[in-house]
Structure 1
Amino acid sequence: MKISLTKLFVQDGKSEKYEIPLTSETFSIGGQDYRVIEKHPVILGLTHEGNRVITITGSADLTMEIPCARCLTPVATPFQLEFDLQIDLNLSEEEREEKEEDSSFVEGDELDVEELVRNELIVQWPIRVLCKDDCKGICSRCGANLNIQTCDCDTTGLDPRMAAIKDIFSKFKEV
């Protein structure tokens, strides 16, 4: 959903309030698509501070489905996003990069709400998500989810320094 900012530029100090439903069913983070399983409307307040400087305040609540880092089971992860940004639309791309001001969600005189939410998700994205603290993960040999079932795979690890000796003995093994 895009919001036209031209109505705000008419007068310094002019404010607008919006309640915008999220339309995205997925968000792409780090090259992977994650499903939105619960979402509430985005609440935004836009204020023209003067000289094409916009203040954006608001919030968004949504729940994303993120796979467990150990067993890949989908985990419902809630996000409570808060916005408090000031964007100077007079700056060039180089000046914005120099000031480290991210305004990729503003193109021309339009604000892309979905992109604003996506940017805030990236900032708050968890480093790792676990389905439970004691998740056992998956078997590295057969791929079985060890939280659900056990497998009969040999879990004894061979010291890599001894691999050459094991090969020698396996060659001379009697049949």
Structure 2
Amino acid sequence: MQINISEIISTDYKVQTFNPEIEMEVFCLDGERYNFIRKSPVELKAQNEGHSVVNLSGHVDVTIDIPCSRCLTSVPTRLAFDFSQKVDFEKLKAEQLDDLDETSFMEESSLDVDRFVYNEILMRFPMKTLCREDCKGLCLKCGKNLNEGECGCDRASLDPRMSAIRDIFNNFKEV
């Protein structure tokens, strides 16, 4: 959703609030797609602080379906956070040729809410998500979820540098 904030940019100390919906259906990161389970409207306040500097602040509350890092079980992950970011439109016009990642959500005097929210979620996206603290993960041989029970596979991982000694012990088992 695009919000025109040209009046806020041009009028010193003007404040306006918005409650736009998040239109993106999935959050994409490194080729992976994470579905939104719940999206609340964004609470957005745009405040001109003088000299074409606009402070964008507010609150985002979403729940994203993220697979567990160990067993790949679906984990509904709530991301609820406050944000605040200042945009200097004088500087933005001067550096218009440089495609600034920090303000990629701005096009002239329009704010792209989805891009803005995407950037904010990206900064807070968890590096590792677990379904529970003691998640056992998947069997490396058969792929069974070890939280549901043992699979019976031999999962002993021995150091390959010790294979010569292991062979000696295996050859002399009968003795």
Per the normalisation by structure 1, the TM-score is 0.84
Which amino acid is the alignment partner of residue 163 of structure 2?
A: A
- Structure 2 residue 61 is matched with structure 1 residue 61: yes
Q: Which residue of 2 aligns with 1:173?
A: none
SS in 2 for 1:81: strand
Q: Which residue of 2 aligns with 1:117?
A: 117
Partners of 1:81 and 1:120 within 8 A in 2:
no
Partners of 1:11 and 1:90 lie apart in 2 by 14
Per the normalisation by structure 2, the TM-score is 0.84
Partners of 1:15 and 1:46 within 8 A in 2:
yes
Q: Which runs of 5 or more structure 1 residues have no equivalent in the other structure?
A: 171-175
Partners of 2:157 and 2:55 lie apart in 1 by 58
Partners of 2:9 and 2:54 within 8 A in 1:
no
Q: Which residue of 1 aligns with 2:27?
A: 27
Q: Which residue of 1 aligns with 2:11?
A: 11
Which amino acid is the alignment partner of residue 42 of structure 1?
A: V
Partners of 2:10 and 2:52 within 8 A in 1:
no
Cα RMSD for the two superposed structures: 2.5
Partners of 1:10 and 1:159 lie apart in 2 by 67
SS in 1 for 2:162: helix
Offset from partner CA, 1:119-143 (integer Å, 9 cap, x none) = 1111112221100011010001111
Taking only the aligned residue pairs, the percentage that are identical comes to: 39
The number of residues matched between the two structures is: 168
Q: Which runs of 5 or more structure 2 residues have no equivalent in the other structure?
A: 171-175
Displacement of 1:104 after TM fit?
Answer: 1.7
